[in-house]
Amino acid sequence: MIGPRNNMSVIRIEDLWSSYGREPVLQGLSIDLKEGQSLGIAGPNGAGKTTLFKVILGLVKPQRGRVIVLECELKNEKDRSWVRRQLAYVPQQSVRGKLPVSVWDAVLMGRWGKTFGFLKMPQNSDKAAVHQALEEVGLLHKLKADCRALSGGELQKVALARALIRGASIMLLDEPTTYLDHRSKEDLVELLTRIREERKLSLITISHDPSHLEQITDEVLQMENGRLREKI
């Protein structure tokens, strides 16, 4: 374990409540992620883990409580939009795309909305970032490959590279080892550990299977019915 570098909070959540309709999802939840810390949150499907990520990303408004990311409290859409640009998010890989997309293009899209968009073409700095990220995850030799032809482990590395090129200091990982075989899981755990140390990242990883969380995190919390407790 690397451990947090100092006592600076990069994500602070205080007494967070959130619901869909009348059904409560997050209930009085509090988190304090320090700079350089890796936090794991374990819990079954439906416990509220994904909703927590949506709140941090500014996609779901809390009913009550405070969410502060990099000293910016999410009070309005401007704040939430700014925070989304500061975070790197690796979604759960569950469905393969049906359209032909190269590894290079899939990773480059991680810069969309941050450094280029509809009226601005990718710059040399964007292309250099793709090259570096693919080299970091060990997929530079497959930059021209069709993503549909990749293995599950390779697809997860593409998702990780796409997150890395955002240049964020905070990364959210949603079930990163789900659907992977044992060898691919071990490979990804080793990769995440190395990248975290090299890039000095702060991480929150959620998973319904806590076994790998202990390998890549400094602390594992258990989520049940929208509440957090220390994992026993």
pLDDT digits (tens, 9 = 90+) for 187-204: 999 999 999 999 999 999
Strands 170-174 and 9-20: unpaired
d(CA 58, CA 61): 7
What residues form DSSP beta bridges with 228? 223
Please give the class, per CATH, of domain 9-230.
Answer: alpha beta
Compute the average pLDDT of residues 173-184: 88
Amino acid (one-letter) located at 105: D
Compute the average pLDDT of residues 226-230: 87
Burial 30-59 (b: 16+ CB within 10 A, else e): ebebbbbbbbbbbbeeebbbbbbbebbbbe
Q: Please tell me the predicted confidence (pLDDT) of residue 231.
A: 62
DSSP 41: E
State pTM to two decimals.
0.89
Q: Please tell me the predicted confidence (pLDDT) of residue 68.
A: 97
pLDDT in tens, 36-49: 999 999 998 888 99
Q: Please tell me the predicted confidence (pLDDT) of residue 1.
A: 47
For residue 202, give the 3-state DSSP assignment: strand
Cβ–Cβ < 8 Å for 215, 173: no
Q: Please tell me the predicted confidence (pLDDT) of residue 102.
A: 95
pLDDT in tens, 201-221: 999 999 987 777 888 899 999
